[in-house]
Amino acid sequence: MILSVMLIAGIAAWYFVGKLPPTYKSSAMISAGIFEFKGLTLPKENVFIQQYEIDARFNQLIKDMTSRKSIRRVTNRLLEHDLRDTNPFRQPNEELLAKAGISLDDFGLALQTNFGDTTETPDFENYNRVIAEAFGYDYETLMKHLTVRREGDTDYVTVAFESESPELSHFVVQTYCREFLDFFQDVVTREENEKVMFYTRLVGQKKQTLDSIVNEINQYKAANGLIDVGTQSESVIGAIQNYEDKREKEYQKIPALRAAISILEDRILRYNRSFSAAYAEDLYGREDFYEIDQEIKKLREQLQRGVGNTTSIQEKIKKLESQKAELIAQYAKANIHNDHPIHDQVKQWIREKTEKEIELEFALKSVASYDRELGGLNARVGKLQRDDAKLANMEKFRETIEKQYRENLSELEKAKLIAESVENPLSVIEEAEMPEKPESNHRAIITAFSGVAGGTLASIFIFILALMDTTIQSPSRFYQKTRLPLTGYVNKIKSGQVPDLHYLFHSENPKKELVHFREAIRKLRSMVESSGKRSFLFVSPKDGEGKSFLIVLLAYAMSLNNRRILIIDTNFRNNTLSEYKNTPFWTQTGDGRGGLIKNWIGGKKQANMPPPERDPDTGWSLRNVDIIGNKNGNQSPSEVLAGKDFDRVMRNYSTRYDYIFLEAASMNQYSDAMELLPFVDKLIGVFSAERPLGEADKETLEYL
């Protein structure tokens, strides 16, 4: 059987492999740059970590090379070629193409528009997937024929593709290498490019913030009249010092003027109490004198405030002082001959007093004016100080942002330099070539392997069946399953091949299997005779195990040794042996040798048992063999034999017969065997090798 399976598997493999279309393989070799690339540094302290890192890098590289994103670039190139070239590699499947919902021309235009775009629309992705599947360029199909593997422990990765066309295989490998190197270059420089983009955005943000701060500082200075706060503060402080000096100078005059006026008043009052006031009032009451006096005061106020040309104002004051003195002289001259008792000395005191009062009033107003100016200047100094503090904070913030701006600008320049100097570690060291002949289909190897595999599978299948088989196929298996001693076994004879018993035991040249059958019966006969026992109970776990058939065969074999055998049919559930008693067995055949034995299984005849002699009264045709039958029923042996002293009956039969055979109903269902066992010397269990032993037989086996 195994050889047949191997032969069939080999022939089938030879046939189907021969029917396969030829395949063409193109390959290229890529250097990964993991060992020799100058940008890679591996730890030298621990070789195990180094090996692990190398393996991890290669695994990651191969994962990237076989990713959907990488294969999609090849798919798009293949579709672009087949849609534009007059000699496409493949023709699309029309049924799948109809599901796309777009014409090939429109898709070709969309493919050119979207090629290289990482933000493809969902509609385009759906069109691409369906049309790629129609051409056989989808990811799953390409990956079935694309091989990407590392060459041993080297730094090289082999890329190979097999297809039905040499041009297609060459195109796929060449395009794949080119597209993946471009893709990997983008991946390698992506980090540096992202850094450049990041610092570009950051520098722009810092520049915008810096410009905003500078503009805010300028606007603040313009709004508050600030040019140089330090210089302005020094100027205002200088003005304050100047005004304070002038105020102090004027302030110091006040006590002296007040003292002088007090003295003059005392003198005038003392010498000319009556006329001095009238004289003064006449003088100060003149309109021209009053106007000159007011103009002098006005000019002095301008001089104090620093308004106008100082030299010009001072000249005007001198001129007005001269006019004022002239008016006083004229007034004095006009009144010299008056009858006032004022002599020249008193007039001089009055003039001095008047002048001192004017100077005192001027000094007081000057001090008040200087106080106002000093108050304004002090307020301005405070504002300048506050402005200076705010500007200092703004300038400090500007300096911080400017520092960050310059640092980010420096990082940007470094990132640009690194990005421009990054190299792709991958390189093609062996270009793809156009395959000249198809690949070997390994027909002989596959055929041999198929035969071996078929034989192996058949052996495994047979072994599994043997493991699952719970039937008793050998004496050793019988003991393994039952743990009972084996008396003997009888081989199976096909229905219709058992001749009459006389021929079976007396023929010199029967068939080989009949010889085995006959000798097995003789061995059983010897075992029974050598046991020293005379009464035997034949039992079985189930119906149809062959008890009746075996009893008849064994009885006939023992009768040939001139043994008298009594068969008692105590199987009240299935009285097959009782039917032997009243039914003739003899069936005459054409050769005159008698009939066939019919096996009795479950109460049905299986083979004729032709006797060499026939009793005309009973129909029982076996010499030296008698049978006691029953009429069948539902009673158990103990119920049937109750009150009959069956033990005494068995002793009486023992005096007349050499051996007594009893048959009991199946032990799995009935208790007959247990009830009959006390009346016999020995029990013989009959098992069919074709029937499995299961849980239902467990109790019976334990009893046996």
Question: What's the pLDDT tens digit per position in 286-321?
Answer: 667 777 877 877 877 777 776 677 778 778 877 887
Q: What is the pLDDT of residue 504?
A: 72
| Mean pLDDT, residues 45-63 | 73
Please check the confidence at residue 105 and state whether its pLDDT lies above 50.
yes
| Mean pLDDT, residues 98-102 | 72
Give the pLDDT band of residue 271 (cuts 50, 70, 90): low
| Mean pLDDT, residues 520-538 | 89
Beta bridge partners of 430: 29
| Mean pLDDT, residues 650-664 | 90
Please check the confidence at residue 577 and state whether its pLDDT lies above 70.
yes
Q: What is the pLDDT of residue 587?
A: 34
d(CA 450, CA 463): 19
Please check the confidence at residue 341 and state whether its pLDDT lies above 70.
no
Neighbours of 519 (CB within 10 A): 12
- Rg of the Cα atoms in the chain: 69
Instruction: Choose the most confident range, by mean pLDDT, from 128-132, 146-150, 185-189, 223-227.
Output: 146-150
| Mean pLDDT, residues 103-113 | 70
| Residue 243: exposure state from Cβ atoms within 10 A (0-12, 13-18, ≥19) | buried
Please check the confidence at residue 544 and state whether its pLDDT lies above 70.
yes
Q: What is the pLDDT of residue 381?
A: 60
| Mean pLDDT, residues 83-93 | 84
DSSP-based three-state secondary structure for 437: coil
Structure-model confidence comparison of residues 685 and 277, the more confident one: 685
Beta bridge partners of 662: 537, 568
Return the domain boundaries, the chain.
Answer: 2-196, 229-420, 475-703
- How is the beta sheet containing 156-163 ordered, strand by strand? 146-150, 156-163, 24-31, 427-430
Tokens matching residue 96: 């799948």
Q: What is the pLDDT of residue 380?
A: 64
Please check the confidence at residue 670 and state whether its pLDDT lies above 70.
yes
| Mean pLDDT, residues 79-84 | 84
Please check the confidence at residue 509 and state whether its pLDDT lies above 70.
no
Please check the confidence at residue 435 and state whether its pLDDT lies above 70.
yes
Asked if 295 contacts 365 with a C-beta cutoff of 8 angstroms, the reply is: no
Neighbours of 417 (CB within 10 A): 11
Phi/psi for 699 (5° steps) reads -65, -40
Q: What is the pLDDT of residues 595-636, one digit of tens each?
A: 333 333 233 333 333 444 444 444 445 678 888 888 877 788
Phi/psi for 663 (5° steps) reads -120, 135
**CATH: 3.40.50.300, 3.30.460.80, 3.30.420.10, 3.40.50.1820. Which one for 475-703?**
3.40.50.300
Give the pLDDT band of residue 538 (cuts 50, 70, 90): very high
Q: How many residues appear in the chain?
A: 704
Tokens matching residue 41: 């540094």
Buried b (16+ CB within 10 A) or exposed e, 388-399: beebeebeeebe
Q: What is the pLDDT of residue 619?
A: 44
Structure-model confidence comparison of residues 388 and 357, the more confident one: 357
Please check the confidence at residue 130 and state whether its pLDDT lies above 70.
yes
Q: What is the pLDDT of residue 564?
A: 92
Structure-model confidence comparison of residues 109 and 428, the more confident one: 428
Asked if 175 contacts 98 with a C-beta cutoff of 8 angstroms, the reply is: no
Q: What is the pLDDT of residue 427?
A: 79
The residues near 451 (Cβ < 8 Å, ≥ 6 apart) are 6, 7, 9, 10, 13
| Summary mean pLDDT of the chain | 73
Q: What is the pLDDT of residue 114?
A: 61
pTM of the shown model: 0.40
CA angle 559, 612, 607 (to 5 degrees): 90
Which range among 417-431, 561-575, 673-687 shows the weakest confidence by mean pLDDT? 417-431
| Mean pLDDT, residues 223-241 | 60
CA angle 239, 241, 247 (to 5 degrees): 100
- 151: which DSSP letter? -
The residues near 569 (Cβ < 8 Å, ≥ 6 apart) are 575, 576, 577, 578, 581, 627, 628, 629, 630, 663
Q: What is the pLDDT of residue 658?
A: 92
Neighbours of 481 (CB within 10 A): 16
Going by DSSP bridges, is the β-strand pair 24-31/427-430 parallel, antiparallel, or unpaired?
antiparallel
Phi/psi for 149 (5° steps) reads -145, 155
Alpha helices in 68-103 (DSSP H): 68-84, 94-98
| Mean pLDDT, residues 479-491 | 71
